[in-house]
Amino acid sequence: MKNMVSLKWLLARMYESDVVIVDCRFQLGKPDAGREAYMEAHIPGAVYLDLEKDLSAVVTEHGGRHPLPDIAELTGTLSRSGIGNASRVIAYDDQGGAMASRLWWLLKYLGHDQVYVLDEGFTAWQKAGFPVTAEQKVLIPAPFLATVRHNMLVEVDEVRENLGDAEVTLIDSREAPRYRGEVEPIDRIAGHIPGAINRFWAEGRSSDGKWKNADEQAARFEGLQQEGQIIVYCGSGVTACPNVLALQEAGFTNVRLYGGSWSDWISYEGNPVAAGDEEKPKGV
């Protein structure tokens, strides 16, 4: 797949000079757990990037729970981590690809196409008997020059302006009960953006933990217009990223991320909130 690589693919190429492996493990609610897991064992040569310290900005009134990082700061972080414009970046996690997909999306947004998510993740790598280590790589900075693709991102004003537009599909990537407004364990208001349909991001993987192939991903998004614009969001802009990746795998090209997502949407008084299921029956 064009955005994913297998365990065996990485095993065969992990020591090639242009490959940079990035450990993105992170547990919501346990902010130190990912780095601690990395310190204990990781894929040889991997560097660690933290969701909240490296791949997000500081939380403010607006922008959501995981605001997108400042571009200059992010490019500096990437460069110091040994990621340059010529690097092939392989990102992995142990959260079903959610955190690795955040780095995947950020690098694509910065104009870097040679970035991939490792299918199955670290535990599967370890269970396969592939090498792990606690040794940390000596980081050699690499020049990284961003060419920002602004069209990949939407802000709250544009989402608001597109409400009710038949040419724009809003996809909520959260679990169905949160989308329907039945429960809300994290954000202060339950529900979803009016008009959004629900496609839980984790359903992009099969029961064995592998990502579904292009045809299976296309089946998840059956009925959506290939030529239409798709805006994807979640709670804070993180787990929307694997859905963006899945949509690309399925052949959709006009896919954009609402970076602040639900937690940003509800930070503005007056933004409408919907509950229940807005899915149209097939054939309608």
pTM over 0.85: yes
- Residue 241 designated active-site: no
Go through the domains of the chain in sequence order and give each one's CATH number.
Answer: 4-127 (3.40.250.10), 150-265 (3.40.250.10)
Distance CA 266, CA 219 (A): 31
Written as tens digits, the pLDDT of the chain (284 aa) is 589 999 999 999 999 999 999 999 999 889 999 999 999 999 999 999 999 999 999 999 999 999 999 999 999 999 999 999 999 999 999 999 999 999 999 999 999 999 999 999 999 999 999 999 999 989 999 999 999 999 999 999 999 999 999 999 999 999 999 999 999 999 999 999 999 999 999 999 999 999 999 999 999 999 998 888 999 999 999 999 999 999 999 999 999 999 999 999 999 999 999 999 987 644 43
82 close to 20: Cβ distance less than 8 angstroms: yes
Residue 270's SS3 state is coil
Q: Which of 196, 234, 238, 247 is catalytic?
A: 234
Phi first, then psi: what are they for 245, rounded to 5°?
Answer: -60, -45
Q: Amino acid identity, residue 241?
A: C
List CB contacts of 241: < 8 A, sequence separation 6 or more: 98, 101, 102, 104, 105, 257
